[in-house]
Each structure stands twice: as structure tokens, then as C-alpha cells.
């Protein structure tokens, strides 16, 4: 796999970590506008990174959450959760 594959997956993992932490924080602090702004900013960043990854390397999620180019890409390992 090219270096960009691993770089983008690492960026996604970092952003996902931030989103999980902010989600947990917002569950107990729903009125924190700054945290909500951060959450939305990172959610937008995640969409951007995921979109770049999927356009270059194929889908990240199944069951309709990600598109697949032709031919069907789920048969081509490694899958994101395997690396």
C-alpha cells in the first residue's frame, strides 16, 4: 500500500479519537458551545479525510455508508480495520 493509505488512516484515527472524546464530553456538558463548535469542525474534517481516502483507496464502511467504485471494492484487502 502507498504511504498515503496509512497516512490518511492515521489521520482518521486521530480525528475519530477527538470526536469520541468530544461526544462523551458533550453528553455531560450539552450547553458548552465551544465544545460543540469543535465537534462540528472535527466532524467536517473527518468527512474531508474520509472522502479523500475513499476516492483514492475505496470504501471505509459498508451497508450503504460508503460508495464503491466498479468493480466491487470490498473484495480487495487490506480493509481499513486490518491495518
Q: Mind listing the pLDDT tens digit for each residue in 2-61? A: 899 999 999 999 999 999 999 999 999 999 999 999 999 999 999 999 999 999 988 887
DSSP letter at 30 equals: T
Rounded Cα gap, residues 24 and 44, in angstroms: 18
Q: How confident is the model at residue 62 (pLDDT cuts 50, 70, 90)?
A: confident
pTM: predicted TM-score of the whole model, two decimal places: 0.79
Report how far apart, in Å, the C-alpha atoms of 57 and of each of 6, 22, 24 are.
11, 28, 31
- Is 69 a residue whose pLDDT tops 70? no
Amino acid at each position: 500500500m502507498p504511504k498515503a493509505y496509512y497516512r490518511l488512516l492515521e489521520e482518521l484515527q486521530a480525528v475519530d479519537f477527538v470526536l469520541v472524546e468530544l461526544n462523551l464530553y458533550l453528553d455531560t456538558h450539552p450547553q458548552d458551545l465551544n465544545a460543540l463548535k469543535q465537534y462540528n469542525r472535527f466532524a467536517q474534517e473527518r468527512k474531508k479525510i474520509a472522502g479523500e481516502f475513499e476516492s483514492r483507496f475505496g470504501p471505509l464502511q459498508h451497508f450503504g455508508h460508503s460508495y464503491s467504485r466498479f468493480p466491487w471494492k470490498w473484495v480487495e484487502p487490506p480493509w481499513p480495520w486490518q491495518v
